[in-house]
Amino acid sequence: VQFHRRDYPRFFAVKIALLGAGTVGGGVLRLLRENRAQIAKRAGQEITPVIVAVRDVDRARQRLGYDDVLLSDDALSAATHPDADAVVELIGGESIARECALAALANNRPLVTANKALLAKSGAEIFQAAAARNLTVGFEAAIGGAIPIVKTLREALAANRVDAVCGIINGTCNFILSAMEKSDCDFAAALAEATKLGYAEADPSLDLSGADAAHKIALIAALAFGAPPRFAEVKIQGIAGINGADIRAARDFGYCIKLLAIARRTDSGALVYVRPALLPHGHLLAAVGGAMNAVMVDADAAGDTIYYGAGAGSAPTASAVVADLIDLAAKRAGLPPECDAPLTVADLRLHPTPHYLRFTVIDRPGVLAQIAQILAARMISIEAIRQTESRENEPVDVVFLTHKSAHGAVLDAAAEIERLDFVAHPATVMAIEEL
Amino acid sequence: VQFHRRDYPRFFAVKIALLGAGTVGGGVLRLLRENRAQIAKRAGQEITPVIVAVRDVDRARQRLGYDDVLLSDDALSAATHPDADAVVELIGGESIARECALAALANNRPLVTANKALLAKSGAEIFQAAAARNLTVGFEAAIGGAIPIVKTLREALAANRVDAVCGIINGTCNFILSAMEKSDCDFAAALAEATKLGYAEADPSLDLSGADAAHKIALIAALAFGAPPRFAEVKIQGIAGINGADIRAARDFGYCIKLLAIARRTDSGALVYVRPALLPHGHLLAAVGGAMNAVMVDADAAGDTIYYGAGAGSAPTASAVVADLIDLAAKRAGLPPECDAPLTVADLRLHPTPHYLRFTVIDRPGVLAQIAQILAARMISIEAIRQTESRENEPVDVVFLTHKSAHGAVLDAAAEIERLDFVAHPATVMAIEEL
């Protein structure tokens, strides 16, 4: 066995085809230019764009100010440009991006992408196409922006059995929940603030619905457990149902509400899900505010480790893309995750945690007794109850914290309670995550 | 340019010489055995100990329960064992460890070590010996236990100019300061508790003096800035001077006290230092309790990222050692940091931050005026003052927070104030770090 590092040829150029020059692509171009000397040194060679695919060539020429690079509005041709050694897909979306990624691999070019939707849904196809040609696929930028969670799971924790990963990996949702907590405002006001500051897109539905976080946790599960989940099996719940009353009630009990994306090994398979949940105020993830991201990994040897940073934005995401390119140039990029068989996904309904339940009820005798009876009938035992002071003819909020109970049993109980005639609004049901 | 990953030969064994089978070495043996199949898969080949150097062969044979591995009490011979493909140095200390490391490299074997004292002081010699033979040196386990800060600085943030790194990287000191904060106890009681729980060694001086954290920040500076500092130029202050009164006074102003190890780029060179300092309670590093470690990196593209985990202990440190071995086996281990010229280290005395000063004084008219005059004469302006209630004939504590002032000016002013006849005890002077 010889352990010498190969003497790589040094300081010839690595030419890339860059597909997309928007927020992230523009950041990659800027970073490659601004830190050019250092990147060349670390990579062992220069990394230069040979062609950039954009929507509008003239506008892009003005905006980017690059005179020495070929611009094209034909992404698919750019993906197979004969001078490109590697292809960076930053178009986003699923159809053209998928075509370009597969074309690049078919043309024997390694791929770097920030496209979590693409990989979560078509990952098996793309990873298999890469593996068949012994090509690498870099996707550090697809999860958690600047946070090196892909490298950490693949390399730094490679000796560990990973038992659970829990992340705050959607900056938009975290900004909104943090704003509701901090300013005691309602969901709509917090969303407006997020939009104004650029933390929410014009159409924020992919973020608010939990789908974006689900794409990322599906990829994390593939890395952590060695097999990708079928995306349709990932349980997803967004934050649209959370209101100020929940934030305040949770706070009174010593909790905050976070949108958590979780992948957890269990005896009956892996749980992979996204949902708003309660975290105790003392927990380090509870302190992750604004649009920041953080990922906690529970591994058998390393124990709990946490990785925190900007989950989005031009420069942080570009940092991850270029790190993948440097790994590629330095010939240490990792092979794609295995996709021989999908991950066995366990039933979240069977997963027991304590729960938070809030019911808005007409205040009259016997209400509490009826709710308590329904909970008891499903073996859900109550840990704490609080009721807001009642004003005449106004419904009151009753909040329950339960002991550990299966998620499905709690959902069923809540649905049964909601059908009672004294319940004024739909209930809020959230798990209390014990990390 | 060809970007195919090489097809490595798979599933032949990588044989290691393991020097030291104490806390960390024992952990490495356990981890290699327990996660054997996964490690072989990730590494592309099996990693097995071929010889283990121990202090007492008979005792080790019983304790380790390994029948199939050669034990030896001759570390230097083990370091050059003909069947070993790589050498893992976990002896600690500086003299024998240094000899063994150099012998391994001279014998053309790559090195993995957890020895921060060795690398901080003899790093240039060891790294140059490795570079001369194109050999790798893995030292992820030398800093922050399970936290992958070496890999992050070398690889994940490779596209960035790193501007500052700030770490809580001595678990013993953090345990003690956290215990003083939590239980309102004094230094001696907190140290006793740390010793009882195994967080402080029988001789804790290397930890309490700040030397251990200094070893680590010297290595971090070498990675972050591309050149190692001369260890003698690292400014070091330990935590022995901190007492309960400081913890309480800092808390009243909204701060906690942490032992911080900092490497910071400035116009006049790099600041590299270890000292107890104040951090505002809202800062994420302020929430790092017990014996845990955390490192914050401020990089130009990635922004602020934080890495948190167990900084010591058998399994977390073994996780890092085996990650280095897997990188080695997968042929993606990094070459040693460059050591052509030492880092230009800037003068900490010139570095301006806000400061905390506590004086214990005899309570009599004119005391405050005299202190304020001395501060004013050195252009140190006061942000806040608090004085404890005075009891007759008892000295009182007066605490000042200053605006940004050069560290040296504040130290000089404090020394001048200490010489006044109404000052009862030495002053406490700490920077307030603005991270």
Considering only the beta carbons, identify the residue of A42, A316, A335 that sits closest to B301. Answer: A316
Nearest in space to B326 (alpha carbons), one of A323, A148, A339, A3: A3
Interchain proximity A159–B39, CB inside 8 Å: yes
Number of H helices, E strands in chain A: 15, 18
Interchain proximity A135–B335, CB inside 8 Å: no
Nearest in space to B212 (alpha carbons), one of B149, B147, B142, B306: B142
Considering only the beta carbons, identify the residue of B31, B109, B160 that sits closest to A159. Answer: B31
Closest residue in A to B294 (Cα) is A306
Task: Identify all chain A residues contacting B319, using CB atoms and an 8 Å cutoff.
Answer: 157, 159-160, 299, 301-302
Considering only the beta carbons, identify the residue of B304, B319, B332 that sits closest to A159. Answer: B319
Nearest in space to A348 (alpha carbons), one of A225, A241, A266, A280: A266
Closest residue in B to A327 (Cα) is B155
Closest residue in A to B159 (Cα) is A39
Specify the pLDDT at position B20.
97
C-alpha span between B15 and A137 (Å, rounded): 30
Q: If you search the block for the tokens 């590299």, which residue do you land on?
A: B272
Specify the pLDDT at position A129.
94
Task: Identify all chain A residues contacting B309, using CB atoms and an 8 Å cutoff.
Answer: 302-306
Mutation site for B-interface testing, chosen from A10, A33, A160 by largest number of B Cβ within 10 Å: A160
Distances (CA, A) of B45 to A133, A152, B9, B10, B13: 21, 20, 8, 5, 6
HSE-CB of B434 using CA atoms within 13 angstroms: 8
Q: Above 60 in pLDDT, residue A1?
A: no
Specify the pLDDT at position B294.
98
> Average pLDDT, whole number, for chain A?
93
C-alpha span between A192 and A176 (Å, rounded): 9
Mutation site for B-interface testing, chosen from A30, A284, A305, A332 by largest number of B Cβ within 10 Å: A305
Q: Tell me: the pLDDT tens digits for A252-271? A: 999 999 999 999 999 999 99
C-alpha span between A295 and A156 (Å, rounded): 14
Bridge partners for B280 per DSSP: B255
Q: Tell me: the pLDDT tens digits for A318-328? A: 999 999 999 99
Considering only the beta carbons, identify the residue of B6, B147, B287 that sits closest to A284. Answer: B287
Containing A128, the helix (H) or strand (E) segment is helix A116-132
User: B166: distance to nearest CA of chain A, Å?
Assistant: 14
Considering only the beta carbons, identify the residue of B148, B288, B302 that sits closest to A156. Answer: B148
Task: Identify all chain A residues contacting B47, using CB atoms and an 8 Å cutoff.
Answer: none
User: B201: distance to nearest CA of chain A, Å?
Assistant: 21
Q: Angle at CA A247, nearest 5°, toward A246 and A253?
A: 90
Dihedral angle computed from the Cα positions of residues A89, A90, A93 and A96, in that order, rounded to the nearest 10 degrees:
-40
Task: Identify all chain B residues contacting A326, using CB atoms and an 8 Å cutoff.
Answer: 155, 158-159
User: What whole-number percentage of chain A has pLDDT above 90?
Assistant: 87
User: B221: distance to nearest CA of chain A, Å?
Assistant: 16
pLDDT means per 10 residues, chain B with 435 residues, are 44 84 95 95 92 94 82 97 96 94 96 96 93 93 97 97 98 98 95 95 95 98 95 97 94 97 96 98 96 98 98 97 94 81 95 97 91 96 90 89 98 97 93 94
The widest CA-to-CA distance across chain B, in whole angstroms, is 82
Considering only the beta carbons, identify the residue of B1, B86, B160 that sits closest to A35. Answer: B160
Exactly one of A116, A121, A216, A235 is catalytic; name it.
Answer: A216
Cβ-Cβ contacts under 8 Å between A and B: the total is 217
Specify the pLDDT at position B340.
81
Q: Give the residue with greater pLDDT, A8 vs B432.
A: B432
Q: Tell me: the pLDDT tens digits for A278-308? A: 999 999 999 999 999 999 999 999 999 999 9
Specify the pLDDT at position B1.
47
Q: Is A136 helix (H, G, I), strand (E, B) or coil?
A: coil
Q: Can A216 be counted among the known catalytic residues?
A: yes
Containing A369, the helix (H) or strand (E) segment is helix A367-377
Distances (CA, A) of A264 to A220, A271, A297, B113: 11, 5, 10, 32
Interchain proximity A335–B156, CB inside 8 Å: no
Interchain proximity A303–B310, CB inside 8 Å: yes
Amino acid A193 reads: E
Task: Identify all chain B residues contacting A318, using CB atoms and an 8 Å cutoff.
Answer: 159, 301
Q: Tell me: the pLDDT tens digits for A356-374? A: 999 999 988 899 999 999 9
Task: Identify all chain A residues contacting B316, using CB atoms and an 8 Å cutoff.
Answer: 301-303
Instruction: Report chain B's C-alpha Rg in angstroms.
Output: 24
Q: How far apart are the first and last CA of chain A?
A: 42
Task: Identify all chain A residues contacting B50, using CB atoms and an 8 Å cutoff.
Answer: none
Interchain proximity B328–A3, CB inside 8 Å: yes
Specify the pLDDT at position A390.
73
C-alpha span between A62 and A66 (Å, rounded): 8
User: B95: distance to nearest CA of chain A, Å?
Assistant: 26
Beta strand residue intervals within A54-146, DSSP E: 70-72, 86-89, 111-113, 137-138
Bridge partners for A51 per DSSP: A17, A70
Considering only the beta carbons, identify the residue of B3, B38, B159 that sits closest to A35. Answer: B159
Interchain proximity A332–B328, CB inside 8 Å: no
C-alpha span between B16 and B51 (Å, rounded): 7
Closest residue in B to A133 (Cα) is B4
C-alpha span between A75 and A24 (Å, rounded): 16
C-alpha span between B220 and B144 (Å, rounded): 11
Dihedral angle computed from the Cα positions of residues B229, B231, B235 and B238, in that order, rounded to the nearest 10 degrees:
140
Amino acid B5 reads: R
Task: Identify all chain B residues contacting A331, using CB atoms and an 8 Å cutoff.
Answer: 3, 5-6, 332
User: A316: distance to nearest CA of chain B, Å?
Assistant: 4
CB A56 within 8 A of CB A82: no
CB A399 within 8 A of CB A386: yes
Specify the pLDDT at position B4.
45
Specify the pLDDT at position B334.
76
Interchain proximity B308–A309, CB inside 8 Å: no
Task: Identify all chain B residues contacting A302, using CB atoms and an 8 Å cutoff.
Answer: 146, 309-310, 315-316, 319-320
Interchain proximity A5–B158, CB inside 8 Å: no
Nearest in space to A300 (alpha carbons), one of B319, B48, B307: B319
Q: Tell me how crowded residue A341 is: count the other CB atoms within 10 A of its CB.
A: 10
C-alpha span between B14 and B82 (Å, rounded): 13
Specify the pLDDT at position B12.
56
Pairing state between β A428-432 and B235-236: unpaired
Exactly one of B121, B151, B216, B235 is catalytic; name it.
Answer: B216
Interchain proximity A1–B7, CB inside 8 Å: no
